[in-house]
Each structure stands twice: as structure tokens, then as C-alpha cells.
Chain A
Amino acid sequence: MKHKLIDIAKVIRSKNSGPYEITFDIILKDKETFNALVEHKCINAELIASLYKIKVEDVITIVEFVPANAIKATIIRPMCSGDIRETDVYGAQQHAPLLDLEFDY
């Protein structure tokens, strides 16, 4: 069955983790959904890389954080926060492409 991430997550957000990284937090609505996504490895480095058109090596970590029913992906920022071509100093508006993700499980 197909599930849209926006329907099964209660928080989807992005933020700097220090000036050289952007981290994405996906907090699922319940333990069952979290377990399903983890079991099927739905959120993985290849997915994040293809979504943001970056190299897989630039996806630093995918962490499943059990206490919060959360899956977290961290990528290398395209540039250090505040560099001359910066578009989002806090990195807080880079999450939108995640909303449209769809998973089959």
C-alpha cells in the first residue's frame, strides 16, 4: 500500500547542524509507521541524494532515533552557511521536497 510521507509524518523539517551541514528530521506519527519505514529502509542515503541531486557520499548519516519515532538524514551543505551565494542561512526551508515522497509498504 502506498503512503505519502506528509500523511504519515507529524514533523518534517530541515535545519543547519553547524554551518557545514543541513539535517532533516522526519518524525513519524506512531511507532508502527516508524517501524515499517525502518524495516523497509525507506529513508536511505540514495533516496536523499537523488531527491536533492547530490552525491551519495554527501549524505553524512541516516539515523533512526527510536525514542522520537524519528528518522534523520544529514547532508553536507552545498556551501558553508552565510557564504556569498547563500540562499538559506539557517537551512530551515530545505525540507519541502521530502513532503511529496511516497512509500510502498
Chain B
Amino acid sequence: MKCVKVLSTTAILGYGFPMSSFEEGMKLKPDCIAVDAGSTDPGPYYLGAGVSFTDYFAVKRDLAIMIEAGIEHNIPVLVGSAGGSGAKPHLDWQLQIVYEIAKEHNLHFKMAVIEADFDKEFVLKAFEEGKVKPLHPAPECTREDILESTRIVGQMGVEPFIKALNDGAQVIIAGRSYDPNMFAALPIIRGFDQGLALHMGKILECAAIASTPGSGSDCMFGTIYEDRFVLETLNPARKCTTLSVSAHTLYEKTNPYILPGPGGTIDLHQTTFTQLNENQVEVRGSKFILSNPYTIKLEAAKCVGFRTVSIAGVRDPIFIREIDSILEGVTKRVKDNFKNLDNYHLNFKIYGKNGVMGDLEPVKEITSHELCIVIDAVAKTQDVANTICSFARSTMLHYGYDGRIATAGNLAFPYSPSDFKVGAVYNFSLYHLIEITDPVGIFKQTMVNV
């Protein structure tokens, strides 16, 4: 029966997978090996600063196994959202790993490199023409948001991957990509339904997270047929169930029936999930609905200052009772002492009170016998952040609150030094859709012989 088989190695390149699972997957003779390497989940820092949230050696370990097997069996290896955030510095980091692998394993192959960076002037022009719109509930952006962003990436669709495969790429290393692309490209080339291919990709991109017990560091296998696809795990300790697969369709999505992406939407209103046997789930009925105009999701981050934090514990019940007035008093003292410094943020995270949920915390009463306090200062320069954090810390340490009977010091520091210079702080500055006309040409693609 006509089908395409796809081996997904791990939830994020560098999160690892058992060799036994990978070998089981290779025994099933996949037509390609694919992996998602990125996410915006770890926050704006990594995109803004141009560094990966994954580890160099962990990524190298995973990718070496994949590329070696891909070359040996003459099947393509596809990597999307290289280096975590998929901008140029992340892509370069990823390529360095590929070159090291090729050298150490004496491998030669044709590699497509696809960049996801968008030129600021191009985005600015589109913005002025009304072709850049916020992705609800993101706010409208400004010219400054675009110009102050350290770099802008766009989530490419499946089209650049299709071109790379058609051009004969054995390895594809792509910048920021819509997650399902790497898994859907080959099935789409072979003529399988785009809705099914993308939905299969949407599940495979998280690999064994869609199995039970779920894991972010294990393989998953997908086979697409004319009118359905089938998912299975490769580790006897995990099973694919209709619940694990359909539940994954909910994961990190606003509405599981409608999954918007580059150039269209996966529609799941007619989708069915059927248990075929103990470990195989069959999915039917997912459709792809083209959107017009074609839109790409832009992501960008900008530097908003520098951070210094100090971590301390408190065990004194009177201090804990007085915590709100102490924080208020310390904030006032800092403000009063540095009247000339107004461009800073001083926050206290109070674990044991509302450190995890902040304003969303419905529990108002503190019932813990101890609290953890993170003094968090962000300012335009590292020096000012250091000053604010240090002064808030020393003020809190000796602050004379109501009813105080422990007069030696209010805080228990687990570390010396007590203050940590975190460095640059970034915020997301763009999370917008841009209208484009050429979903292939807008992403610079080069073929290299490694």
C-alpha cells in the first residue's frame, strides 16, 4: 500500500532519545528522519540574545545519530527552528554542529540551509502598508518595536522544505519553522493530503509527548496513507492511545479544532481517532483550508534592560506576618535613597505567598512557615541594576519592621555572593502576522556540499 513513513526522534533536538527506540524506528524503514529544534516557550531571551536554549553537546549527540543513519540509508534528515529560536545566529550555531559531525564521522552530503530572518526595512514597509497585524491578543506594534528588535524571524511554511527536497537535499537545516513542516514535507511531495500530513506533523513534532506515559525525550513513528495516518511509539514502555494522541492535539493550542499556520489552517472538526491495536492510533478526516492572503508569523525580541537578582529565605514568623509592609517600606527606602535613578524596576517574588501565580493567585493567606524572596532589579544598565538590587537587599536585611524581635538580620542567604548579575533582559516585541506573496522566495535558501 502506498505510504510515507516518518521517524520523529525527540520533542526538541537535544532533548535526547534512547538508542533502542531509534533503532526500532530504523527497522521500520522510514522515508525520512525529522525533528523540531525550537520553541518560543523558553521566553524572549534566546531569540533576542541569539543563543540556543538547548545544549551544544546534547544537540550534537542527537543530530549525529540522525545524520549518520540518514546518509547510510539514503533518506533525508530534516531539522526546523535550528538552534531553538531559528534566527541567523542560531542557524550558524546549528551549522557548526553539522560541520563537526560531518568531519568527525567522515560524512559527505548535500545540505540545504534555509534562513528565516526578515529584514527590518522589509517589515517596516509592510507595516506601513497595513500588512503586519497583531496576532490576537498581542498588541499593535509600533515602528520602534520593529526598529529596536535585535532580529526578526518568520515561521516559514512547508514550501521551502519542499523546494529543498526537490533540489536533492539530503540534510535540511532550517531557521524558524512552523513545527509540522519537517514531518509533512515529504508526504506532501509524494502527493498525500496536506491536511493529514500537517496534522501528523503537528503530533510528531513533540515525538513521544503524545504517548502514554509521555516523554519529551523519546521517538515516535508516523505513517501516512491516502486517507489517514497512523502513529505508534517505538519503546515498549510507552503506548499510543486515542486519548494520548487526541489530548496532545489540545496541547499549547487555543482551539484544538482550528490550528492556524502559514498559508492556511488545519481543520479538525471531522477528525476521528481510532485505536487500531495496543500501540497504534489511526487518525482520519483532518483538512487543510488555504488562507488568502498567505500570512507568516513574525517573532522578534528587543532588549529592555539588565537584571540583577538576589535570593534569600525567611523563617521568622513575625517577618512573614509583616511581609507586605516590609516590601512597601523597602521599596520606599530604595526610591528615596536614589532619587536620581527613576528608570528601574524593582520587584519582589515571594515564594510561599504568590511567587508562582502573581496577580492570578486566588489564595491570599500565607500558611507556610518559611518564604523565599527573590529581589529582582531591572534597569537600563547593569550597574544601576546592581545598585538597586544590592541596596534593596541590604535594606531588607536590616529593616526594622513592626514587632521585630530578631534584630541581627532578617534574611537567610543560601549563597555568597548573594547577588547575581543576570545580564540583558529581552521582551517579545513582535508576535504578528505579515502578508507575503512568495512563501518560498522570501526565505533565503542555499545548497552546500558538506
Residues of A within 8 A of B (CB): 11, 15-21, 23, 25, 27, 51-54, 60-61, 63, 65, 67-70, 72, 74, 76, 78, 80-90, 93-94, 96-97
Q: A67-B242, A87-B358, A94-B360 in contact; A82/B253 too (CB < 8 A)?
A: no
User: Which stretch in B41-49, B119-127, B319-327, B393-401 binds the other chain?
Assistant: B41-49
Q: Does B349 contact A (CB under 8 A)?
A: yes
Q: Can you list, as one digit per residue, whether each of B261-275 has a CB less than 8 Å from chain A (1) or not (0)?
A: 000000000011100
A76 nearest CB neighbor, chain B only:
B137
Are B247 and A11 neighbours in the complex by a CB distance under 8 Å? Answer: yes
**Interface range, B side:** 35 or more
In B16-50, the 8 Å CB interface with A consists of 40-45
With the chains together, A82 CA to B305 CA distance in Å? 13
> Which of B136, B247, B345, B362 contacts A84, CB < 8 Å?
B345
Q: Tell me which residues across on chain A come within 8 A of B272, comparing CB atoms.
A: 67
- A-B residue pairs in contact (CB < 8 Å), sample of 10: A19-B44, A25-B251, A53-B359, A68-B246, A68-B249, A72-B250, A74-B255, A82-B426, A86-B43, A89-B41
Are A81 and B44 neighbours in the complex by a CB distance under 8 Å? Answer: yes
Q: How many A-B residue pairs have CB under 8 A?
A: 129
Are B357 and A18 neighbours in the complex by a CB distance under 8 Å? Answer: no
Q: Does B235 contact A (CB under 8 A)?
A: no
Are A67 and B246 neighbours in the complex by a CB distance under 8 Å? Answer: yes
Are A82 and B44 neighbours in the complex by a CB distance under 8 Å? Answer: yes
Are B257 and A65 neighbours in the complex by a CB distance under 8 Å? Answer: yes
Q: Tell me which residues across on chain A come within 8 A of B357, comparing CB atoms.
A: 87-88, 93-94, 96
> Which of A15, A63, A84, A93 contacts B356, CB < 8 Å?
A93
With the chains together, A86 CA to B345 CA distance in Å? 12
Q: Does B382 contact A (CB under 8 A)?
A: no
Q: Tell me which residues across on chain A come within 8 A of B247, comparing CB atoms.
A: 11, 25, 27, 68, 70
Q: Tell me which residues across on chain A come within 8 A of B313, comparing CB atoms.
A: none
Shortest B366–chain A CB gap in Å is 16
Which of A27, A67, A78, A85 has most chain B Cβ within 10 Å? A67
Shortest A20–chain B CB gap in Å is 5
Are B358 and A63 neighbours in the complex by a CB distance under 8 Å? Answer: no
Q: Tell me which residues across on chain B come within 8 A of A94, comparing CB atoms.
A: 356-357, 360
Which of A18, A20, A86 has most chain B Cβ within 10 Å? A18
Q: Does B252 contact A (CB under 8 A)?
A: yes
Q: A20-B137, A84-B347 in contact; A78/B250 too (CB < 8 A)?
A: no
